[in-house]
Copies of this chain bind each other. A is one copy, B any other.
């Protein structure tokens, strides 16, 4: 996760700042379309393409993350610490959870896949409290 200073050093454009702030200020995971709608509120002339470009850029810089599952649009999430997700198989609700993944599990995954590990994420599929 980047520090405030590091973020400032990126010299984000007006549009990218807006896109970032929309995601930072949201409690929810937003689709690109939702980010676009909210950004328009702050910067009426912003275009869809810019939102997508910004999302890609911010993702590459590690400021936000993209989550996708099953069908439907990707969702964008502010990048905090490493975290995991739970998704409701009834209503599709997505929430963040913070788990301590045992180091051993990461080593095991790296060994099995022969991949050089960068990060690991866990997804719990289940029924959310509202749907239970």
Q: Which residues of B have CB within 8 Å of A2?
A: none
**20 pairs from A and B in contact (CB 8 Å cutoff):** A66-B71, A68-B71, A71-B74, A86-B112, A86-B113, A97-B112, A101-B105, A113-B124, A114-B128, A116-B127, A117-B124, A117-B125, A118-B127, A120-B123, A120-B124, A120-B125, A121-B122, A121-B123, A121-B125, A123-B123
Number of interface residues of A (CB under 8 A): 41
List of B residues within 8 angstroms of A115 by Cβ = 86, 88, 95, 124, 126-129
Interface positions of A (Cβ within 8 A of B) = 66, 68-71, 74, 84, 86, 88-89, 95, 97-102, 105-106, 108-110, 112-129, 132
Q: Give the residue name and chain of the B residue nearest to A127 (CB).
A: B116
Which residues on B sit within 8 Å (CB–CB) of A124? Answer: 106, 109-110, 113, 115, 117, 119-120
Describe A's contact surface by its main secondary structure: mixed
Name the distance in Å between A30's Cβ and chain B's nearest Cβ. Answer: 16
Q: When the two chains form their complex, are residues A74 and B70 in contact, meaning their CB atoms are under 8 A apart? A: yes
Cβ-defined partner of A108 (8 Å) among B66, B71, B99: B99
Given A68-B71, A117-B124, A119-B125, 4 extra CB contacts under 8 A: A95-B115, A110-B124, A117-B126, A121-B123
